[in-house]
Amino acid sequence: MNTEGDLRGILARIDSRGYKAYQDIKGGYRFEAFDLFIDHVQGDPFAAPSRVRARVSLDRAGFPPILHNKGIRKIAFVDYIARQFRRALRGVVKGQRGMGKSGLIDIDDGGQEILERNAVVLDDHWLEARFVVGLPAMGRTILGREAMDIFFREVPLLVDRALFYRNYDSSGVKGHVDAAEDQEYLRGTLPQKGLVAFIGDGAILPRRSGVDDRPLERNAIPFRYPQELEVEVELPNRGRIVGMGIPEGVTLIVGGGFHGKSTLLNAIERGVYNHIPGDGREVVITHPGAVKIRAEDGRNIEKVNISAFINNLPLGKDTVKFSTENASGSTSQAANIIEFLEMGAKVLLIDEDTSATNFMVRDERMQELVAKEKEPITPFVDKVQRLCRDLKVSTILVMGGSGDYFDVADTVIMMDGYMPGCVTQRAKEIAERHTTKRIDEGGTTFGTVTPRRPRIESFDPSKGRKEVKIDAKGLRTILYGRTAIDLSYLEQLVDRGQTRSIGLLIHYYAQHYIHEGLPLREGLERCFQDMKEKGLDMLLPYRVGNLARPRIYEVAGATNRMRTLRIH
């Protein structure tokens, strides 16, 4: 390893030379308090900034082991350090020091969720922050002095503030770690309590806007649980909390328009993740196997067995191995359900706002006018109980528009001015008084979910001269070789780091487990097993700090949306 003085020497030597000379600073340097690794040097001041790591020994960093001694605590701990590093940037980094990205320093610190990520990595012996630096230049001329100020003043200050416990307010980091542990714990106890979700009293559900995931600041009405659904839990750190438990089975969320139904469902969707303290959803906890289902017309579908929902298509089109490049609302919603069931999903979350009406309901009058033989779709209302009985899959459904669901609901929650009430009893009485004459079209069982085995030729990551070119564009697009994968409708994808990881995981899957002819689920499960052992770093042959762990459902969701996907 080189010394700090070596880096100083190189920067002095290459000052005012062409940008290429920056390549000379690649390498490792021992500083007084930490080791610095310059892993990748950008090609010009406008290119993606250079990748740098700063590593301190765990002994010197001085964090009490209780903060990071087990799985979830360690994840939350490094998550907090990345946020601390990010906060420190504001007071330390000068910023613009020339053209393009010159002078920039940045770290990938995530949003409202606490996710496993690799911006900060903790080993048995050291703690490492991974960040990017825009190496300063005017035109293509190196500004060596500016670079020196970055590496010898700014970076040491940042490291000092973010990687040494003595500069921490201890309650902040402890609160963060404790909160994540409580959430993880509560999620783990849901099954034994017979619950699929829990919404704690006082939770703040509404968000600032569709593009701002922070809690609504003013006039947010805190969540209050209805007596009938009261559940009390004892958390390891926070102690006793109470709230609303949503039991397994079929749950209906009803209520007038604008009364908070979708807001509640959205919070439940995100409850599969842990949230930072102050988010308002730290006490909204959902079964990890919960998936959001919606209509997604236009998507491609590759040999999915949607026969549980759709049969007798015109022209005799096969629905046991249903393929299309341009799905309708109902076929896309059916495929979304079946694909997630293939992956072992345990809870479906559905909002009428984003569903195909003809997939959800078919009333008595329509049944009389359009005979069963003429209607390919078996509506979800006739399958939802069978799904629960045959596959043990629960459903939470927002439905303000059709009382036909009263007959099949186990629990009915009514939102009234953002306040939930339990109206199961009343809904059942109404269902008895106004008995429906509609005919149950659901058949004797739910139907079959057929595992699919992807073919190797589905996955070609090459582009032009590059053998592997996989990239994420924002949160919702993956560029996989020459294919773009549109993830706009995977609503539980929350972080760009997840999007990047998904692209890489698909590649990892194609390289390691596809030749064994495993069904998609088994193949991806093996990838996740590997990732559990080796961490996110297994996804690339070099070190980056911008990956976050996705859920297996979103990886499958992305794979299923590849227009190049072919199935055996």
Residues that bind ligand ADP (CB under 6 A): 205-206, 216, 219-221, 255, 257-263, 415, 418
Decide which of Mg ion, ligand ADP, none touches 531; Cβ closer than 5 to 8 Å per partner kind.
none
H/E/C letters for each residue in 100-117? CCCCCEECCCCCCEECCE
**238 phi, psi to nearest 5 deg:** -80, -20
Phi-psi region of 53 (alpha: psi -120 to 50; beta: other; left: phi over 0): beta
Q: Output 177 or 264, the one with its CB closest to Mg ion.
A: 264
Smallest distance, Å, CB 355 to ligand ADP?
Answer: 13
Q: Output 266 or 499, the one with its CB closest to Mg ion.
A: 266
Structure tokens at 500: 């990047």
353 lies in the site for Mg ion, by CB under 5 A: yes
Q: Output 216 or 540, the one with its CB closest to ligand ADP.
A: 216
Smallest distance, Å, CB 263 to ligand ADP?
Answer: 3
Smallest distance, Å, CB 130 to Mg ion?
Answer: 40
Question: Helices marked H in 93-227 — which ranges?
Answer: 144-149, 155-163, 170-189
Smallest distance, Å, CB 255 to ligand ADP?
Answer: 6
Place of tokens 């825009």: 134
- Which of residues 102, 262, 319, 560 is near Mg ion by CB under 5 A? 262
Decide which of Mg ion, ligand ADP, none touches 206; Cβ closer than 5 to 8 Å per partner kind.
ligand ADP
Give me the residues paired with residue 557 across strands. none
368 lies in the site for Mg ion, by CB under 5 A: no
Decide which of Mg ion, ligand ADP, none touches 281; Cβ closer than 5 to 8 Å per partner kind.
none
Q: How many residues bind Mg ion (CB under 5 A)?
A: 2
In contact, 4 and 31? CB cutoff 8 Å: yes
263 lies in the site for Mg ion, by CB under 5 A: no
Q: How far apart are alpha carbons 192 and 181 in whole angstroms?
A: 18
Q: Output 260 or 379, the one with its CB closest to ligand ADP.
A: 260
Structure tokens at 108: 């990938």
Q: Output 102 or 262, the one with its CB closest to Mg ion.
A: 262
Q: Output 206 or 454, the one with its CB closest to ligand ADP.
A: 206
3-state secondary structure of 174: helix
Give long-range contacts, CB 8 A cutoff, 24+ apart: 82-86.
Answer: 82/107, 82/108, 82/109, 82/110, 82/117, 82/119, 82/120, 82/129, 83/109, 83/110, 84/161, 84/162, 84/168, 84/173, 85/109, 85/119, 85/120, 85/129, 85/131, 85/158, 85/161, 85/162, 85/163
Decide which of Mg ion, ligand ADP, none touches 58; Cβ closer than 5 to 8 Å per partner kind.
none
Residue type, 374: K
Decide which of ligand ADP, Mg ion, none touches 163; Cβ closer than 5 to 8 Å per partner kind.
none
The footprint of Mg ion on residues 480-539 (CB under 5 A) is: none
Smallest distance, Å, CB 197 to Mg ion?
Answer: 17
Residues that bind Mg ion (CB under 5 A): 262, 353
